[in-house]
Structure 1
Amino acid sequence: MAAVEACLDTETQKTEVACPSCGATVYKEDRKISEKFRQFVEKNTESNQVLISAFKDLYNDRSMFVHTGINLHTLYSLRPNRPLILRGKRYQSELPNYYYNIHEYTGFLLRRYFYRQLVCEINDLD
């Protein structure tokens, strides 16, 4: 995900939104990375709906993990070898601790995730 995001255009776009307090029109700057990622996947999978759906789910799960730390562990668990825990702008530990072979584990999870997604979609077609 991060490798693809690094290749995407990160220029900000202005989006018109209504102010929640007064209702006035204001402009919000946004990079719209998730939308650009979706377009990238759609283009490079030749609009394959199974892969588009799988990448969308994976992107959402990855975003929860990376940006908020959701679903990593129970809230107050203390143990070594876990990622940095964020709570708003505060953190529980100063440095994240990772399993040294995290790339192998991540690869395993990705292969397993896509295999399950594809098998479920194929079974639904039968």
Structure 2
Amino acid sequence: MITRNVAFSFILALGFVGICLASVLARSADLVGAGFPDRVAGVGTGLILALFSNVLAKRIAGTPAPGKDGARRFMGLAMVLAGLVYAGAFLLAPVELAPRIGVAVVVIAMIVTAIRFLAGGKASRSDPGED
């Protein structure tokens, strides 16, 4: 749905860039604090990651293999949660610390997902009924 509709993605990208530009203009007019544009960009990035991660997990190329469906669902959930935590870090954490927290959470989610895929592949070779 989302990834097939190029117009939706294009409008979302334009809206995101427009909101970021508006926050920079508001900062240059001294209407908001110094960290506001960074927070807006970080929250938007995290929400977009959460929005597209679940769809991405369902559209991974390749033939379905035993044991991989559970890993795909796990990847979707892990990356959606990582996107929400990324957005939350930029919303609530100090602006200097938020990028480190957000990137660390996304990297951890990617590592855990890779481990899950590898473990699922080994389990499917030994016992196709698992997962």
TM-score by length of 1: 0.41
Which has the larger strand fraction? 1
Which has the larger helix fraction? 2
TM-score by length of 2: 0.40
Whose RCO is larger (CA < 8 A, sep 6+)?
2
